[in-house]
Amino acid sequence: MRRVLIPVHINTYFTGLLPLAIMLKQSSQFEPVILFCGNYPTLVNDFETCKRNAFEVCFSRDVNKALFQAMDHDQTMGYEKEEGVGKFKKYVDLLKSPRSLIKLILSRIFANTIIWELIEISQQIIYIRRLIRRENISLVVLPADNRYDFSVYVHAAHLEKTGVVVVPQFMAGPLEWAEYVWDQPPYQSRRLLNRLAGALFPRWSLLYKGRKLVALPGAQIIAKELFGIAPPLPWVLHSGLADAVAVESEAVQDYCLAEGLPSEKVRVTGSIAHDNMFDLLSDAEQKRSIICKTLGFSVDRPLILSALPYDNLYMGRSECDFQIYEELVEFWCRSISSIEGYNHVVALHPSVRYDDMKYIEEFGLKITREPTASVIPLCDIFVASISSTIQWAIACGKPVLNYDVFRYRYTDYQNVEGVLTVEEQHEFIGLLKKLTSDSEYYRKISFQQVASSKRWGVLDGMAGARLQDLFNSTIKTHNKEND
């Protein structure tokens, strides 16, 4: 059995790679090993999911172990509930460990300095190399490259003659990262160290909306460059040094190549989500009937599925019509539930807990606990906001209403005629009504979507086999290096 290490930093990555881990577990060739790399709101729930699937689990030094020591197995536990316990225990443990206390003091003194970043990278490399040896890892699978500390994982794996494959959930060019960091001071060139890093390594700088930005804080840039782990294209997602990037479709491959990723690294495999959708489409009517009955819907009504956007307003977004997330949610839900003659289903973002959002069912919708990819093949209309899930709807030939409520104006789907993109409230309501009341218009958009579908995903049930072939070939290549 070839052991595959899957590092997880956030719930979105865990949810995206969970079907892959299940496929590997069920195979006769691979054994997944999940590495939780830090704290996030649904960490405990994801750990329980790993236990149910009998995955091997490891924890990095940054994970708050108190969350697991105080677990209540009788109910879903939120991270906020245990945060105080975790912090309290953390400081008690520090008093018991002089070494940890000294490290904390030094981190406060040298925080955000080049010296500290170099120390952090060195320690991470040592830790990851030891982990790979201890767990007898044959391959590392990452959900992204050129984000978080993934470049360190690639570097450490390669030092151990171990291959790395990126299985991404989405692709993003410079525009998306520039929009995200535009109003965040740590990424602005007003800071001296940021200006120095931008001058030394110009590819890290970008002029956007009249403001000079750097892709990472200056200390991190310089440290990555000194270690030789800096990405060739800092503003482009997955522009790292991994061996391969396994993308879902020809359309995503074209996107990657247009942004400058090397053609020999970008492999079209499809995803496990595609294989699940292939199975669902083979018996869509019966599967839809089951979901409708579970949610208490009439089975003879068409279904609108919406992927509710998560809170992008917590840092402020002046371009958005809504300054409070709750107002956005109410407008979104009331607009969809006002459409008569349809079943209205909402899929929550993976990082959002059901208990926090179940109040929206008061607006006349039902929340599905099924993964979004498991409901898209069964719906008639898909509503989302600049979401990577839109590519699944295209692959399934489902008309998409893309409400760019935050006005990011990304260009991912601009040439797909079956994706209707709007950013004004009245346009959103108007197109939603037209799609649901004008049968000729609905047929036209559906036809256009079906015409684009194969470029966005080949649903043949063989994506898992293609991924396993890629994993095996990557392992074989590095085994030759070992020889």
User: Residue 77 — pLDDT band, cuts 50, 70, 90?
Assistant: very low
* Rounded Cα–Cα distance for residues 422 and 442 (Å): 17
Give the model confidence (pLDDT) of 204-217 as tens digits.
999 999 999 999 99
Whether the predicted pLDDT of 452 surpasses 70: yes
Whether the predicted pLDDT of 81 surpasses 50: no
pLDDT at 84 (0 to 100): 36
Residue 251 sits in the same domain as residue 308: no
Give the model confidence (pLDDT) of 37-60 as tens digits.
988 888 888 999 999 999 999 998
Residue 451 sits in the same domain as residue 466: no
Residue 213 sits in the same domain as residue 311: no
pLDDT at 345 (0 to 100): 97
Please give the C-alpha separations between residue 13 and each of 129, 149, 350, 398, in angstroms, as whole numbers. 22, 14, 9, 25
**Dmax (CA) of the chain:** 73
User: Which of 221-225, 234-238, 276-280, 313-317 is predicted least confidently?
Assistant: 313-317
In a domain, residue 422? The reply is: yes
Residue 214 sits in the same domain as residue 307: no
pLDDT at 315 (0 to 100): 73
pLDDT at 395 (0 to 100): 97
Residue 34 sits in the same domain as residue 145: yes
pLDDT at 481 (0 to 100): 64
Higher pLDDT, 351 or 37: 37
pLDDT at 67 (0 to 100): 62
Q: Domain span at residue 298?
A: 283-456
Q: Which helix (H) or strand (E) holds 421?
A: strand 419-422
Q: Which helix (H) or strand (E) holds 268?
A: strand 266-268
Is the CB of residue 193 less than 8 Å from the CB of residue 219? yes
Whether the predicted pLDDT of 266 surpasses 70: yes
User: What is the torsion angle, in degrees rounded to the nearest 10, for the CA atoms of residue 369, residue 372, residue 377 and residue 383?
Assistant: 110
∠ CA 450-454-455 to the nearest 5 degrees? 115
Mean pLDDT over 280-291 rounds to 93
Is the CB of residue 345 less than 8 Å from the CB of residue 375? yes
* Rounded Cα–Cα distance for residues 237 and 86 (Å): 33
Name the phi and psi angles at 406, rounded to 5.
-90, -5
Residue 220 sits in the same domain as residue 342: no
Please count the other Cβ atoms lying within 10 Å of the Cβ belonging to residue 409.
13
Mean pLDDT over 95-122 rounds to 70
Residue 56 sits in the same domain as residue 42: yes
In a domain, residue 181? The reply is: yes
In a domain, residue 278? The reply is: no
Residue 416 sits in the same domain as residue 302: yes
Residue 420 sits in the same domain as residue 344: yes
Give the model confidence (pLDDT) of 135-168 as tens digits.
999 999 999 998 788 999 999 999 999 999 999 9
Residue 89 sits in the same domain as residue 176: yes
Which CATH number belongs to the domain containing residue 320 in this structure?
Answer: 3.40.50.2000
Cβ contacts of 123 within 8 Å, gap of 6 or more = none
Structural domains of the chain, count: 2
Give the model confidence (pLDDT) of 368-377 as tens digits.
999 999 999 9
In a domain, residue 328? The reply is: yes
Residue 290 sits in the same domain as residue 422: yes
Residue 198 sits in the same domain as residue 121: yes
Give the β-pairing of 205-208 and 211-214. Answer: antiparallel
Sheet holding 419-422, edge to edge: 366-368, 343-347, 303-307, 381-384, 400-403, 419-422
In a domain, residue 133? The reply is: yes
Give the model confidence (pLDDT) of 414-429 as tens digits.
999 999 999 999 999 9
